[in-house]
Amino acid sequence: MERVNLKNKQTVRRYSESFKQKVLQELADGQLTKKEACIKYGLGSGTIYQWIRKFNKLALYNPRIRIEMPNEIDKIKELKSKVSELEKALVTTQLRHLRSEADLAVALEILGYKDKEEFEKKSKADQLKKQ
């Protein structure tokens, strides 16, 4: 009976921090492109992107350029304006609510209740008595 070795015989490469930094510096300086670095050092592109994230060198990601139609730009401005209006309206509503809560607390205190819960309990009890 033949024994089968189940261990994977692939070589696992571990790169030093200084090597990773050197490769990223070459990319940042424009000495190499990502593809050239992969070929030169035998790296996978995923490895380089992991190093970019690890060392927070996000400027090395491929630049993204957004191309928009003029009406899209106007629509974005309009939507941002609408969001701003809605945020202001929300703040105003929240302030009104807080004011109402404060007015209610003062009124309940004048009527001799400690808080809203006490008033609600007594109010329910009074309603049950009437039924």
- Please choose, from the candidates 79, 81, 3, 13, the residue with its C-alpha nearest in 3D space to the C-alpha of residue 42: 13
Write the DSSP assignment of 36-62 as a string of letters: HHHHHHT--HHHHHHHHHHTT-GGGSP
What number is the average pLDDT over the span 22-37? 92
Express as a percent the part of the chain with pLDDT over 90.
Answer: 44
Higher-confidence residue of 130 and 118: namely 118
DSSP three-state, residue 68: coil
Q: How far is CA 93 from the centre of its chain?
A: 27
Task: Provide the mean pLDDT of the chain.
Answer: 86
Direct distance between the N- and C-terminal alpha carbons of the chain, in angstroms, rounded to an integer: 92
What number is the average pLDDT over the span 68-94? 92
Q: To the nearest 5 percent, what fractions of the chain are helix, strand and coil?
A: 70, 0, 30
